[in-house]
Amino acid sequence: MATLNEYYPEEVLHPCYTLNEKLEEMEMSRKEFALRTGKPEKTIIAVLKGMSSITSEMAILFENITKIPAHFWINKQARYNEYIARKQRKYDVEQAEEWTRSFPYTEMSKNNWLSQTRKIEEKTINLFEYFAVSTHEAWNKLYMEKELKIAAYASLKHTLEPHAISAWLRQGELQAEQIDVPEYNKNVFNKNLLEIKDIMAKHPYNFFQKLQTLCFQAGVKVFYTPKLPKVPISGSTRWIKDTPVIQLSARYKQNDRFWFTFFHEAGHILLHGKKYISLENINFSEADPEKEREAHDFSEEWTFTKKQEKEVIDAAPLDGNDIIAFAKKFNTHPAIIIGRLHHKQLIPFSVGREFIKPIDLADN
């Protein structure tokens, strides 16, 4: 990440000062100098007042008259231009201080997304680099106003924590860049979902690696991004450069909720195409309640259908062995059944907890 530790001079003068001194030394008027260079007098006056730059062409012309090498004028102008640019950069950084304080920088640095620092200026520069923007206004246009009309971005203007959400989504973009997959194949994805359902039912210790492999084969990028404070997002689906991407936070760290979220996001890919972006549990302006309901229904069909749910309820009272038997019958995991019954408040939350498996995707 960038820092402010490099040395830059506090002030660099425009080359006009040197040029004015030289003309005075040569006892040459501005008008004469303009005539000798073949440039309009107003152009030369603008340079001599520091209102315009000395171009490479001018430097060559000045060389003949002042006897000072062209590279002197070119280098002096370049140093001045850099000085002015860095002054503007410093101003941009100072103006972004409030913006920078809106990010959970400490948590992001703990995740190794950003370098640790206590200096607000360095935090700002690191955030500019992280988001690949030059100013906080540019970030605003991307993430709040959505001036870039592509499916990878959604307007976060009316969300509660737009800065943290954008940081999480940006990390997903960076992770997706590191993954190579073949072109997306809908038929392969549909077929591989059957194998993924088997993985869900068995839930082996390396379930996430197996899940990723099957998704990668179909051209779908799936990965884990740790959630950030105050951001209740469970998962997101979007298309980045014509490739479907599923980004998961494993927010609840338990298998039943993880699998429901995965199939929910898979539903968006298969049902809603490239233009729709899903931010699960985030209320944002472009969310479509109908599409979210369709993805919810899709997930139910793949994890534990309403018909299967009714069959379990009708068989009550049930013990642990009954739940295991139903899970085998439906090729699902007992935690999925228990989780549904908990969600609908059909059984106390204390019942069946032994079936729900804790997950930590950071170690998977």
Give the integer Cα–Cα distance in Å for 157 and 1: 28
CA distances to 205, 259, 329 from 167, in Å:
29, 24, 42
pLDDT bin (cut points 50, 70, 90) of residue 152 is low
The dihedral region occupied by 135, where left means phi > 0, alpha psi between -120 and 50, and beta the remainder, is beta
Exposure string for 261-283, b = 16+ CB within 10 A, e = fewer = bbbbbbbbbeebebebbbbbebe
- Mean of the pLDDT values across residues 24-48? 96
pLDDT, position 1: 44
Global pTM reads: 0.83
Give the integer Cα–Cα distance in Å for 104 and 359: 24
Using the predicted structure, report yes or no on whether residue 32 has a pLDDT greater than 60.
yes
Using the predicted structure, report yes or no on whether residue 90 has a pLDDT greater than 70.
yes
pLDDT, position 155: 78
pLDDT bin (cut points 50, 70, 90) of residue 364 is low
Using the predicted structure, report yes or no on whether residue 92 has a pLDDT greater than 80.
yes
Half-sphere exposure of 132 (CA within 13 A, CB side): 5
pLDDT, position 3: 47
- Mean of the pLDDT values across residues 70-86? 95
Using the predicted structure, report yes or no on whether residue 2 has a pLDDT greater than 50.
no
pLDDT digits (tens, 9 = 90+) for 259-299: 999 999 999 999 998 889 999 888 887 789 999 999 999 99
